């Protein structure tokens, strides 16, 4: 749904919440490459200063350790930095943790979005770009999922992301904030933390293959996902934050290409032929069999009509890992 139109002044200063995280740090790098001044805000709960090593080399970059659910801290940051756009990525990102701690999920994945939107409004920042999730679609089987599909989340996390989208759309309608919400599908690439059991499958499998360890596939490996390379995500978020023409609305951030876990294993086996065969275990409870998005709306709006091929993205990821 398009909610904005009109002209926007040149955007030179961008705030990135969750900037020390996986997607946030790549977004900072991309924005700096475009010559923008970037302030990353992060509480370092899951992110790491190491992710910002490249960004720190730029004179245009600054970092603030802060909690985005603290209205006073967020208002102060907006007042000091005076961003013209904010990319809001800070969140409780684990779906199972959000399920186990619904109050924390509400504070970080709903209330904090309101805190960021309100600080933007109060400081005169007109543009908000938000990280939503394909989790808003629940287990819809109407594939490929277009933005017009009914959003019926089946988790606390998905519900919170949908609430945040709606809140931002209301900020757009009521106060003229340009709000662009991206429903991320499965993002992968360098700097994604493989250490938790809830980490994305690509990061877990890549790290284990690199270390010479066999992986466990939950189910028969025929499940499929729409895997998006993080560099493409950073490019899209940066375009939404800085392009002169106004944006706004809700878009899938996906490739439209379906990849099974068996496809992923083929790429990894070719790179590490010495690693043992995978074990096949029980399907994960509540797992979605297939997830696939329709990228056409975002491509039309942002003019990004290609994506990094999966094999190429995996090679980038493997090249970024420490040799064992």
**Enzyme catalytic residues:** 157
Least separation in angstroms between CB 261 and ligand NAD:
15
The single residue among 89, 98, 128, 177 that binds ligand NAD, judged by CB under 6 A, is: 89
- Nearer to ligand NAD (CB atom), residue 86 or residue 91: 91
Query: What are the distances in angstroms from CA 103 to CA 99, 100, 107?
Result: 9, 9, 6
Q: Report if residue 213 touches ligand UD2, rule: CB under 6 A.
A: no
Under a CB-based contact definition with an 8 Å cutoff, are residues 42 and 17 in contact? yes
CA 114, 193, 271: angle at the middle one, nearest 5? Answer: 140
Considering only CA atoms, give the Rg of the chain. 19
Q: Does 241 bind ligand NAD (CB under 6 A)?
A: no
Which residues, other chains included, contact 244 with Cβ-Cβ below 8 Å and sequence gap of 6+? Answer: 7, 8, 10, 11
Q: Is 310 in the site for ligand NAD (CB under 6 A)?
A: no
Q: Residue 298 interacts with ligand NAD (CB under 6 A)?
A: no
- Helices and strands in the chain, H and E counts: 12, 13
Asked if 226 and 60 touch (Cβ cutoff 8 Å), the reply is: no
| Close Cβ partners of 4 (under 8 Å, ≥ 6 residues apart) | 172, 176, 178, 179, 246, 247, 248, 249
What does the block give as tokens for 47? 């992110």
Beta carbon of residue 215, minimum distance to ligand UD2 (angstroms, whole number): 6
Q: Which of 14, 15, 22, 231 binds ligand NAD (CB under 6 A)?
A: 22
- Contact range with ligand UD2 by CB under 6 A, out of 43-51, 129-137, 292-300, 312-320: 129-137
Residue 20 binding ligand NAD, by CB under 6 A: yes
Residue 169 is a binding residue for ligand NAD (CB under 6 A): no
Question: Any contact of residue 211 with ligand UD2 (CB under 6 A)?
Answer: no
User: Residue 306 CB, nearest distance to ligand NAD (Å)?
Assistant: 20
List the single partner that 18 binds among ligand UD2, ligand NAD, none, CB under 5 to 8 Å by kind: ligand NAD
Helices 112-123 and 71-81: crossing angle, nearest 10°? 30
The listed partner (ligand NAD, ligand UD2, none) that binds 163, CB under 5 to 8 Å by sort, is none
Q: Are 128 and 85 in contact (CB under 8 A)?
A: yes
The residues of the shown chain that bind ligand NAD, judged by CB under 6 A, are 18, 20-24, 42-47, 67-69, 89-91, 93, 108, 131, 133, 184, 186-187, 200
């Amino acid at each position: 749904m398009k909610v904005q139109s009109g002209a926007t002044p040149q955007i030179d200063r961008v705030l990135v919440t969750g900037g020390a995280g996986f997607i946030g740090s790549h977004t900072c790098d991309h924005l700096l490459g475009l010559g923008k001044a970037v302030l990353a805000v992060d509480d370092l709960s899951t992110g790491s200063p190491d992710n910002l090593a490249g960004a720190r080399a730029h004179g245009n970059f600054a970092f603030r350790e802060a909690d985005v659910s603290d209205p006073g801290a967020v208002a102060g940051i907006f007042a000091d930095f005076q961003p013209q756009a904010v990319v809001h990525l800070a969140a409780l990102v684990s779906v199972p943790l959000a399920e186990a701690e619904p109050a924390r999920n509400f504070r970080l994945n709903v209330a904090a979005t309101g805190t960021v939107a309100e600080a933007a409004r109060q400081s005169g920042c007109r543009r908000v770009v938000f990280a939503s999730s394909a989790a808003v679609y629940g287990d819809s089987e109407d594939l490929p999922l277009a933005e017009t599909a009914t959003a019926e989340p089946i988790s606390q996390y998905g519900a919170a992301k949908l609430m945040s989208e709606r809140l931002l759309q209301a900020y757009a309608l009521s106060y003229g904030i340009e709000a662009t919400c991206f429903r991320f599908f499965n993002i992968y690439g360098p700097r994604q933390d493989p250490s938790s059991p809830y980490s994305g499958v690509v990061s877990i499998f890549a790290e284990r293959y690199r270390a010479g360890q066999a992986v466990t596939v939950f189910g028969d490996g025929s499940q499929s996902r729409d895997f998006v390379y993080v560099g493409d995500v950073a490019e899209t978020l940066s375009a939404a934050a800085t392009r002169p023409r106004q944006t706004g609305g809700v878009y899938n951030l996906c490739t439209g290409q379906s990849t099974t876990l068996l496809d992923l294993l083929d790429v990894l086996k070719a790179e590490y032929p010495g690693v043992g065969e995978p074990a096949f275990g029980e399907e994960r409870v509540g797992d979605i069999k297939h997830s696939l998005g329709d990228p056409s709306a975002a491509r039309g709006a942002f003019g990004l009509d290609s994506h990094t091929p999966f094999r190429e993205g995996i090679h980038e990821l493997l090249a970024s890992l420490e040799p064992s």
